[in-house]
Amino acid sequence: MWKTILRRILIMIPEIILLSILVFLLAKAMPGDPFTGSINPRSSATQIEHLKQLNGLYDPWYQQYWNWVVHLFHGDLGQSYQYHEPVTNLIGDRAINTLWLSAFTMILTYVIALPLGLYAGKHDGKLPDTVIRIYTYVTYCIPFFVILVIGLWIFGYVLNWFPTTGSVSPTATGMWMIGSRFLHVLLPGLLGALFGTVNVVQYMRSEVIDAKNSDYVRTARSKGVPQKAIYKHHIFRNSLLPIAAFGGYSITGLLNGSIFTETIFSYPGMGMLFIDSISYRDYTVITALVLLFGILNLLGTLLSDIILSVVDPRIRVN
């Protein structure tokens, strides 16, 4: 198993290199350069030219790429034009905020979705199953941002139960700070989970139905295993397997979702930063974020593969 995992990690290295080259070339292709906007407008063309030369902007692309990578390893992702702050600092705080929100959304998603999926699968075709399926279809039909806007309006503005902007109350200190943080992720997390459950519920439901009708469950029944134990030892466990593997991939969904959620809730995370930097053409930030999102996605798939190789004996033994 360790061999498989190690091999899988090694395969990721060329993937990351390829990704970084792509991101770098894209960044190069964008209009402007690191000096646009930060240079004294009265500088002469020759002065600018000199600066560009000094900073290696006329080197061949692979050398520039190499320099960029070396800087990357030193934690230097360049300067933000808009904030005049190193990109690393800028992303650092927001990454933690996004992590908070995403982890909370993910936990909530599975806590809600697994029992619902199991219940629907167990009683497929009956009333509760129909209700759960209608819920998933309806939710699936509404665009995510509409859910967010409506949720924000009802629970944030009309009912005033939750804060509507930010990641923490500016006046909060000490223990209350954690409480305040939690309060701020509660509504976006809940709404995100509401949307995220749709896939997981459907997936879990069909896995349970498959397992329920499988030959090995029939074998278990013929051994005289009570229904409850069959659900616990055979159906639930076997249905969870693809779901667990799916977990890694769902990171991608969470990151994509964070762009909407954070923008609508003015929640200072990576998603909002991304949208902001796009509207301000803050290229260094965009590049860094694209690279980061890309790597996180790769890690997600890696995680899925590892989970699968750990839980499924058929893969474990090659």
What residues make contact with other proteins under the rule CB under 8 A? 3, 6-7, 214-216, 218-227, 229, 233-234, 237-238, 241, 311-314, 317-318
We find the least distance from the C-beta atom of residue 164 to other proteins, in angstroms, to be: 46
The minimum distance between CB 246 and other proteins, in angstroms, equals 17
Alpha helices in 142-222 (DSSP H): 144-151, 174-212, 215-222
Angle made by CA atoms 252, 186, 138, in degrees to the nearest 5: 65
Write down the least CB distance from residue 248 to other proteins, Å.
19
Q: Give 78-82's long-range contacts (Cβ < 8 A, gap of 24+).
A: 78/34, 78/284, 78/287, 78/288, 79/34, 79/38, 79/284, 80/277, 80/282, 80/284, 80/285, 81/36, 81/37, 81/38, 81/280, 81/281, 81/282, 81/283, 81/284, 82/276, 82/277, 82/280, 82/282, 82/285
- If the CB atoms of residues 71 and 316 are measured against other proteins, the closer one turns out to be 316
Nearer to other proteins, 108 or 235 (CB): 235
- Residue 284 CB, shortest distance to other proteins, in Å, is 39
Q: Which is nearer to other proteins, 41 or 215 (CB)?
A: 215
Give the three-state DSSP class for 86: strand
Record the tokens describing residue 161, joined without a space.
């139960």
Calculate the alpha carbon distances from 86 to 69, 98, 262 in Å.
16, 19, 22
Pick the closer one to other proteins by CB: 11 or 111.
Answer: 11
Instruction: Look at phi and psi of residue 226 and say left if phi exceeds 0, alpha if psi is from -120 to 50, else beta.
Output: beta
CB 37 → other proteins: shortest distance, Å? 49
Beta carbon nearer to other proteins, 73 or 215 = 215
Nearer to other proteins, 40 or 222 (CB): 222
Least distance (Å) from other proteins to the CB of residue 54?
A: 45
